[in-house]
Amino acid sequence: MDKKSHPWKPFFCDMHIHIGGTRSGRPVKITASRSMTITRILEEASNRKGMEMIGVIDAHSPEVQEELLDLISQGEARELDAGGIAFQQTVLILGCEVEIKEEGRGEAHFLVYLPTLAAMQAFTRWLSARCKNVHLSSQRIHASIQDLQEIASELGGTVVPAHIFTPHKGLYGSCTDSMREVMNPGLVEAVELGLSANTQMADQISELWDKTFLTNSDAHSLGKIGREYQSILMAERSYTEWRKALKREDGRGVLVNYGLSPQLGKYHLTACQGCQTLLPPDSSLRCPVCGFKRVVRGVAARIEQLADRELGQHPSFRPPYVEQVPLEFIPGVGPKLLQKLYATFGTQMDVLHRASEQDLADVTGEKIAALIVRAREGGLAVQAGAAGTYGRIVDR
């Protein structure tokens, strides 16, 4: 896309963030930090992370909706005519994550995004008749995947398959070999790659060639917000513009995917979940080292199994995938240094994209500044993650 041919602007967006609990202390995402209330997430995204648009995918929870309504009534947030909620320097898109297990298939997670609070409240009513506890995140629902697509479409929303290659609850990792077997591909505008895959890997599957790729954090703590994100070209920040970007309409679209090196993800290689021994991609379900009956097939092996195109081929619209190392992965960057960086430069986006090496060195010292710059350039050595354990930077 030629940025000079239209007035659209790029915005940093992270569209998969979990809520740990409500302001009353009620849990929402059980595995997420309780400090992650909707208000705290909005403040962190706006003031620390520099995310100009975020998707919170637990907005179906009734107490979350009450907190948002209070922010709006107090004048701290406002609903946008084109969809979404503006709060300080960021815009919130309302989402919900659900789990579906169809007969004879493994379970998979899906993200439902809706334009307004009223639409999300209607979805909550639909959801409450199909799950055990509508207050919680990522609930298994009694509905088919196509049922979910239909209700989302009726409410003006869209369904995005989440972390599609993850061996636990990913569309390809757990549920099916082909999207068309379980859902209407024509209603799928985008898919989420997940932390253990990148554009190069995903474009080996031809049925994904007409889909927009999203790289999101799947954050379960405030610190994880923005570990993956994208720059999206839009006329403004709103739900309507975001949907146009997913469809690549009128010059809108994802400009750059900023994602982890896939090796930093938790499921890149095949390994034993018991002893963490790395194993060949075709290993059996029992570990030959410790005998544990849980060998977790890696994302790399799963994509190789499904691939029907050569590595390096891409559709003409596919934007670059820039391997991004979040500050928390950089050796030597702890909480105190993070605070100094934020105090000096503003947000994580300023540190990762805008600060010069010399300016960074004035705060962090030359060694850590050099690591941050090498991370920008994809020059850090990585030890790959597997079986639920993140990869790590091994440069010092």
Q: Which of 169, 195, 388, 391 is nearest to 273 (CA)?
A: 388
Which three-class secondary structure state does DSSP give residue 338?
Answer: helix
Is the model more confident about 357 or about 270? 357
Note the pLDDT tens digit of each residue in 79-132: 999 999 999 999 999 999 999 999 999 999 999 999 999 999 999 999 999 999
**Angle at CA 374, nearest 5°, toward 371 and 378?**
130
The answer to the question of residue 364 being in a domain is yes
Cα separation of the two ends of the chain: 38
**How many C-beta atoms lie closer than 10 Å to residue 347's C-beta?**
22
d(CA 373, CA 355): 10
Whether the per-residue pLDDT at 16 is higher than 80: the answer is yes
CB contact set of 389 (below 8 Å; sequence gap of 6+): 266, 271, 276
State percent of the chain over pLDDT 70: 98
Among the three residues 241, 263, 285, which one is the final residue of a domain in this structure?
Answer: 263
Tokens for 250, please give them: 């009128």
- Could you tell me the pLDDT band of residue 1, with boundaries at 50, 70 and 90? very low
Whether the per-residue pLDDT at 379 is higher than 80: the answer is no
The answer to the question of residue 273 being in a domain is no
Task: Using alpha carbons, list the distances in angstroms from residue 11 to 3, 116, 162, 230, 254.
Answer: 13, 21, 21, 8, 9
- Whether residue 109 is found in the same domain as residue 252: yes
Full residue range of the structural domain in which residue 135 is found: 3-263
- Whether residue 236 is found in the same domain as residue 348: no
Computed over every residue of the chain, the mean pLDDT equals: 92
User: At 295, which helix (H) or strand (E)?
Assistant: strand 295-296
- Whether residue 117 is found in the same domain as residue 228: yes
The answer to the question of residue 354 being in a domain is yes
Task: Using alpha carbons, list the distances in angstroms from residue 308 to 65, 166, 204, 241, 328.
Answer: 44, 19, 6, 33, 36
Look at residue 395 in the predicted model and tell me its pLDDT. 67
d(CA 369, CA 170): 36
- Whether residue 240 is found in the same domain as residue 379: no
Whether the per-residue pLDDT at 3 is higher than 80: the answer is no
The answer to which of 36-45, 204-213, 259-268, 366-375 has the lowest mean pLDDT is 259-268
- Whether residue 336 is found in the same domain as residue 254: no
Q: Report, as an integer, the average pLDDT of 191-220.
A: 96
Look at residue 271 in the predicted model and tell me its pLDDT. 82
Is the model more confident about 157 or about 266? 157
What values do phi and psi take at 149, rounded to 5?
A: -60, -40
Q: Which of 3, 115, 1 is nearest to 59 (CA)?
A: 115
State percent of the chain over pLDDT 90: 72
The answer to the question of residue 304 being in a domain is no
- Whether residue 48 is found in the same domain as residue 164: yes
Q: Which of 200, 329, 312, 206 is nearest to 266 (CA)?
A: 329
Helix ranges restricted to H, the chain: 38-44, 62-73, 117-128, 145-154, 199-202, 239-247, 299-306, 335-345, 348-353, 357-364, 366-376
Pair 373, 353: CB distance under 8 Å: no
DSSP category for residue 5: G
Number of domains within the chain: 2
- Whether residue 201 is found in the same domain as residue 84: yes
The answer to the question of residue 299 being in a domain is no
Whether the per-residue pLDDT at 2 is higher than 60: the answer is no
**Angle at CA 220, nearest 5°, toward 217 and 224?**
50
Q: Which of 35, 217, 235 is nearest to 111 (CA)?
A: 217
Output the domain CATH number for residue 371.
1.10.150
Output the domain CATH number for residue 166.
3.20.20.140
The answer to the question of residue 120 being in a domain is yes
Note the pLDDT tens digit of each residue in 290-344: 877 777 888 888 999 999 999 999 999 999 998 877 787 888 888 899 889 989 9
Q: Is the dihedral of CA 337, 342, 343, 345 positive or negative?
A: positive
Residue 182: alpha-carbon gap to chain centroid: 22
Pair 135, 28: CB distance under 8 Å: yes
The answer to the question of residue 284 being in a domain is no
**How many C-beta atoms lie closer than 10 Å to residue 78's C-beta?**
12
d(CA 142, CA 225): 30
